[in-house]
Chains A and B, each alone.
Chain A
Amino acid sequence: MSDEIRMLPKAYHEAVEHWQRHNFPEYPELAKRWQQYFPKDAEFCLCARIEKGMPTNIQIGEKTGQPKANAPRELDKEAAEQLLMIIRAQASTEFGSIQQHHGTFERANDPQDQSWVLRVMAEELRHGYQMIHLLTSADWSSVTDTKPEDMVEEILNMQTGSHVLAAFNLEYDSFGDSIAFAAFIDRVGKYQLTMQKVNAYAPMAASMPPMLREEAFHLAAGVIPMRRWMEAAARDRNAAMDVPTIQKMIGKWFGRGLEMFGDERGGATNVKLGLKDMANREAQDLYIAECDKMLDDINTRFVRARLAHLSRDDGDAAYARIKKGETVEGLTRDDLLRLPDPRFFRRRGEPAFQMIGHDGEHFTDVELYIAHVLAHLPEAYRASIDVKHWIEMQRGVANRTIELKKAISSMPRLARVGGACPCSNSVRWVVDAPEGPSGGGERLNP
């Protein structure tokens, strides 16, 4: 099995490049750093990759065993509509994460971490390109009146604050958020891509394996720096990135990651239609278990560094005791990282706006709850419009002045229009260009 490489038609290819110049100006730096940080790795290609040799029959749902669709019109209308929504949302996340990383990219304090994030950004650009390929390489007119160029325009117009999912509307407070994001939010991406490997629309299913291979690197680019932060924190009580700081980052991102799965009670339709192989709660539960495992590994690194005189077995036993709440050689549960309760600081899904604390405590006084949540969030994030908006909604829901449903659907900024290219030469990202079979077929640097 290998990938087949496809390029977008020229107008769309150039639109993505144009978007990159405005939103991802760091991109050319990747070519300069490639041989230092990724020596002999296959060169980066801004292109769509289609896995060969994928199953040709539907693998899940009501039509299991029937041939997969190769065009949207071959899907049931409901499935095609749902799939179109999924592709648009996926595209939004890919371009959105680049905008987020860009905000703090220059503030990285470690050149290796920064170079890893640079590659992550480029691969997210490729994933966005892949989604645009899915939107523009097929006829979606059976389920939407929107022309392909307008769908692309809508995606490229989105800014931090106007993306489909909340996790992509949060600005980073520091480069540290790039790392926490890769560890927690890209992990949700891995689940979504994995679930979509069975997709009843063959081009979608075949798009997933190449993206998943790149996503594996993104997760490592989050976890390994976090492991090293914790090791440094264990050795140096004045480490710049200490445990409370990292814990608050987790408080910021974990709930948004959970919400990316969709409402805990939903997702059965996607399984029925053959678009994904797990419903939301099932996938979310696996994600929570995986995050728990991630923190166990990271905490083990901390304990081994802090209690370096202990043997491996004694170190493992010490961590197990600390996790249960005991104090071992001065270390307590609060000295290590832990996942917040999945209902903590939630704005979507089953536990939305329930006043559940970081460790599962129940609150009845909204002001006490707000103070509790704020105490578990990064200081810079507390000052954001996002948190301000959450406080308004949380108060409104608690005081019954805002309907829960309205609070759930509310976002701090809904600027889904008006984000046209800031370049004075153009008012649209997608501009008319002579028709060509591809963006020239050339590989971009690096």
Chain B
Amino acid sequence: MADVIIRPVTELDIEAICKIDEVITGKYRPDAWEDRVMYYIRRDPDSSQVAEVGGKVVGFMLGEVRGGEFGLEEPTGWVEFFGVDPKAREKGVGRALIEALLARFKVKGAHVARTMVRTQDKDIDAFIRRNGFTPAPVAALEKRL
């Protein structure tokens, strides 16, 4: 596999992100990804990252530093959206992405990173734990409406 290049996301990555999402979910959702990528670009364009192999985007990880949510006052680096093309998995792309994202969170003043994983997403859960995340002393609660 060619070298993986990690760089900040840009507006020209939207279509590639749509494609990775489509491969994973089976849905083409350009409006949703335009809104999401715009959100991260306008707030902190340096943090969210994409992975390129041979000039092609094969993975992305979007997140930002926020504070004051859920009573967690400290600046927190939130890992919010990510995806890696199934053909590019198991080659260190996800690890390279999360390392770059976490490094940027530190630069932005965060001393902790957090994320949430659905219990049925075992692969994601394993990936996140492999990268040093441990269960947090918070509980995710919900109520169906």
Contact = CB atoms under 8 A, between A and B. Distances in A.
B37 interface: yes
A154 B88 CA distance: 55
Q: 8 smallest A-B Cβ distances: which pairs?
A: A216-B45, A220-B11, A297-B15, A217-B42, A223-B11, A220-B41, A224-B34, A219-B11
B43 interface: yes
Contact of A312 (B28, B38, B42, B109): B28
B15 to A, nearest CB: 4
Query: Taking chain A's interface residues, is the majority helix, strand, or loop, or is none over half, making it mixed?
Result: helix
B55 to A, nearest CB: 10
A219 B45 CA distance: 11
A224 B38 contact: yes
B72 interface: no
A294 B16 CA distance: 12
A219 B10 contact: yes
A216 B11 contact: yes
Contacts of A296: 15
A297 B14 CA distance: 8
Given A220-B37, A224-B34, A41 B43 contact: yes
Contacts of A42: 43
Nearest to B38: A220
B130 to A, nearest CB: 29
A236 to B, nearest CB: 16
B14 A293 contact: no
Interface in A206-253: 213, 216-217, 219-220, 222-224, 227-228, 231
A216 B10 contact: yes
B14 A213 contact: no
A216 B41 contact: yes
Interface string B48-86: 000000000000000000100000000000000000000
Contacts of A220: 10-11, 37-38, 41-42
Query: Taking chain B's interface residues, is the majority helix, strand, or loop, or is none over half, making it mixed?
Result: helix
A114 to B, nearest CB: 15
Interface residues of A, number: 27
Contacts of B19: 312
Interface of B: 8, 10-12, 14-15, 19, 22-23, 28, 30-31, 34, 37-38, 41-46, 66, 107, 109
A294 B12 CA distance: 6
B11 A231 contact: no
The interface centre, meaning the residue of B22, B23, B31, B42 with most chain A CB atoms within 10 A of its CB, is B42
Given A38-B42, A220-B41, A227 B23 contact: no
Contacts of B44: 213
B10 to A, nearest CB: 7
B30 A231 contact: yes
A380 interface: no
Nearest to B22: A312
B68 to A, nearest CB: 10
Nearest to A299: B15
Contacts, number: 59
Contacts of B37: 220
A106 interface: no
Given A216-B10, A219-B11, A301-B15, 8 more contacts: A2-B109, A38-B42, A41-B43, A216-B42, A223-B11, A224-B38, A228-B31, A297-B14
B30 A301 contact: yes
17 contacts: A38-B42, A40-B66, A42-B43, A219-B11, A220-B10, A220-B37, A220-B41, A222-B11, A224-B38, A227-B34, A228-B34, A293-B12, A301-B30, A304-B28, A312-B22, A312-B23, A312-B28
A290 interface: yes
Interface in A26-55: 38, 40-42
A329 to B, nearest CB: 17
A440 B38 CA distance: 33
A41 B66 CA distance: 10
B83 to A, nearest CB: 14
Interface string A122-162: 00000000000000000000000000000000000000000
A228 B66 CA distance: 30
Nearest to B35: A224
B42 A41 contact: yes
Contacts of B23: 312
A210 B64 CA distance: 17
Contact of B12 (A40, A213, A297, A304): A297
A99 interface: no
A308 to B, nearest CB: 9
Nearest to B11: A220
Contacts of A224: 11, 14, 34, 38
Nearest to B9: A216
Interface string A283-313: 0000000100110110011001000000010
Contacts of A223: 11-12, 14
Contacts of B45: 213, 216-217
A324 to B, nearest CB: 19
Nearest to A183: B11
B70 to A, nearest CB: 15
A42 B22 CA distance: 32
